Each structure stands twice: as structure tokens, then as C-alpha cells.
Amino acid sequence: MYINFVVVLISYFCLSASLTFDSAVTVFPLDFADSKLSNVMGTSALKNMSKFCANLAFLFPEQPLLDRYKLAKDAGFKAVETGFPLGHTKEQVVEAKNAAGIQQILINIYTGDVTKGELGFAAVPGKEDEFRKSIDLTIDYAKALGARKIHIMAGRVDEGNITAAHDLAYENNLRYAVGLLEKENILGVIEPINKYSIPNYYMNCYDKALSVIKKINSPNLKLMLDIFHLQLIRGNISNTIKELIEYIGHVQIAQAPNRNEPNCPGEINYQYVLGQLQNAGYNDWIGLEYKPVSNTKDGLKWIGELGIV
């Protein structure tokens, strides 16, 4: 049974077919065969990580953001995802990405001033102008970087007291964003985030996320399923994957509850969960959004240890 499972999992990560969201949004096919990660993981069998992208907000923290593009490439990654590159011009980020020769899959929306606790404006009444400026700016960066996905962050709610005004602002702002994204062939994703990682974050519920996605009903708005957040919000991972699969536009992983490498001691069996994603039909990118226990490159050995070779 174990051998059969590994064979199936290999087939999943060797896929390099394009995934199309209705007729509007296309994620381009890729292939990956790099010996560098094989060397890092101590196995010559590793040939495919075409569905893993390095999250540069979390991985390679030893170096400044722009240097992480090259570090990811040198580690063997073909693609990355990032938060919004605060403090860096569009030209600087594009230069770093192009110099590294790596693809950008996703970028987070401009969040505002994080030192003041701002984490986006989508669900903040009275911040409609700020939201529109933030999505316009982020689309500009995404187009320059070739990123086909934008994570639209909702923002915090004072004291966690969510009202109908927050719900209305969120829906209206998402409708505005979707109108722009449809024109640019970019996918917007929304992500429930657990209350332990970010207290008072508006979007902290999968039922709420699914409801607004269904209500807006656009192929350019889907769910970002972060398995780490899923475990801390509601658990029941396998059934949730099956229930939400048609709405999932991006996946991220990390061990719970400490958000480290997927093979660290914790609550999630990723060898099983990745198989469940495959069985449900997900074959798009999986972002590695975890905090390395020590050196990022050494920590990548988890891929071989989980049998993803």
C-alpha cells in the first residue's frame, strides 16, 4: 500500500498540465527537473517540485527580500510567491526576479502600514478609497512580475466586533476587485486566517469565505486554502478539502501549531494530506509558507523524508 501511495504521489507532482478557471484565468504549465534540490535532500530520486513554490515572506529569512529570489532559484525552486514587497519599487522587484530566472505565482495585496496593524482594507468600512488604490497598485506589480494570482487581504476589525457594515464593505470591495481582475486575467484569492496567528482578522471563517465567493460568482475569485490555518480554525482537513475543492484557487502548507516545516512534530500528517489534495483533483501550485526551524535549505529535506521523490 505504501509503495502504491508513493507512486500515485509521484504522478501528482510530475504533472505539468495547465489548470484553467472556467475560460478566464489560466495558470501556465511548467516543468521542473533540477539536481540542486536532490543534493540538498540527499536523494538523486527527487526530480519534481513543479507544484511547490517558495514563499519569500517566510523562507530564506537570513537575507533581504530581493536576495531571496536568487536563493530560491539556487535551492532548486522554479517559482515563488511573496507578500507585497513593501519598501521596494516595482522595477527593483522585477529586476530581482528576472535576474534569478524564476517565476512568480502569487503576490499579496498592498496591506497598508503594517506597523500600525494594517493588513488590508477590503473589510474596513470607510477605507474604500484605500482599498481601490491598494488593488490598483498590486495589479500593477502583479502584471510586471507575471503573477497570475493576488491574495486579497481583508484587514482587522476593531475588538473583533464584526458588523453588517464590515460584511457589506467586504463584498463591495471584492466586486470592485473582481471587475479589474477579470480584465487582466488574474485570479483573486481570499484566505481565512486563524485567530491565534492574527487576532481580530475579519476573514477567519471558511463558511464566510465560501458564502461570499458563491455570492460574487466569478471565476476570478476563489479560496486560498492554507492547511495550517485550516487545522487551527476547524480541523477536519480531509472532508474540508473534498467539500471546497471546486472553489480552491491556491494551497499553502505548514505544520501546526508552530508553523514550521511540514515534517516537524505537530498535528498534521502531510504525506496523507497531500494525497488527499491529489485525490480531490488539485494539481495547481502549493506555497511553502512556513517558518524554517533553522537553515531554509537544510530544512527542505522534509520533501524527501515524506516520500515526495
Above 70 in pLDDT, residue 218? yes
Which of the four pLDDT bands, split at 50, 70 and 90, describes residue 230? very high
Mean pLDDT of 50-59: 92
% of the chain at pLDDT higher than 90: 79
Among 81, 118, 130, 289, the one annotated catalytic: 289
Domains of the chain: 21-305 (3.20.20.150)
Above 90 in pLDDT, residue 251? yes
Quick one: pLDDT at residue 10? 40
Cα-Cα-Cα-Cα torsion 57, 28, 255, 223, nearest 10 degrees, comes to: 90
Q: Rounded distance, CA 102 to CA 114, Å?
A: 27
Quick one: pLDDT at residue 307? 72
Q: Containing H/E element for 266?
A: none
Mean pLDDT of 286-300: 96
**Residue entry with cell 535549505:** 297
Above 80 in pLDDT, residue 244? yes
Mean pLDDT of 253-268: 97
Above 70 in pLDDT, residue 7? no
Mean pLDDT of 206-228: 98
pLDDT single digits (tens) 65-77: 999 999 999 999 9
- Higher local confidence (pLDDT), 2 or 215: 215
Torsion sign, CA atoms 39, 41, 45, 49 = negative
Among 191, 243, 261, 305, the one annotated catalytic: 191
C-alpha cell at 208: 464566510
235-241 long-range contacts (CB < 8 A, ≥24 apart) are: 237/268, 237/273, 237/276, 238/273, 238/276, 240/206, 241/273, 241/276, 241/277, 241/280, 241/282
Above 50 in pLDDT, residue 49? no
Mean pLDDT of 263-269: 97
pTM of the model: 0.85
Distances 20 to 102, 220, 246, 286, 306 between C-alpha atoms, Å: 22, 11, 12, 16, 29
Distances 275 to 7, 151, 222, 223, 280 between C-alpha atoms, Å: 11, 25, 21, 19, 9
- Higher local confidence (pLDDT), 48 or 105: 105
Which of the four pLDDT bands, split at 50, 70 and 90, describes residue 21? very low
Q: Which amino acid is at 79?
A: A
Q: Can you say whether residue 224 is alpha, beta or left, with left for phi > 0 and alpha for psi between -120 and 50 degrees?
A: beta
- Higher local confidence (pLDDT), 16 or 88: 88
Mean pLDDT of 216-224: 98
Mean pLDDT of 255-278: 96
Cis peptide before 192 (omega within 30 of 0): no
Quick one: pLDDT at residue 213? 98
Mean pLDDT of 7-36: 37
- Mean pLDDT for the chain overall: 87
Quick one: pLDDT at residue 306? 79
| Inter-residue contact 253 to 19 (CB < 8 Å) | no
Mean pLDDT of 207-236: 98
Q: Is 289 a catalytic residue?
A: yes
C-alpha cell at 22: 472556467
Quick one: pLDDT at residue 159? 80
Name the CA radius of gyration of the chain, rounded.
Answer: 18
Question: What secondary structure letter does DSSP report for 29?
Answer: P
Quick one: pLDDT at residue 40? 41
Quick one: pLDDT at residue 26? 33
Alpha helices in 156-236 (DSSP H): 164-184, 206-216, 227-233
C-alpha cell at 243: 467539500
pLDDT single digits (tens) 78-133: 999 999 999 999 999 999 999 999 999 999 999 999 888 999 999 999 999 999 99
| Residue 135 CB partners (closer than 8 Å, separation 6+) | 109, 150, 152, 176, 177, 180
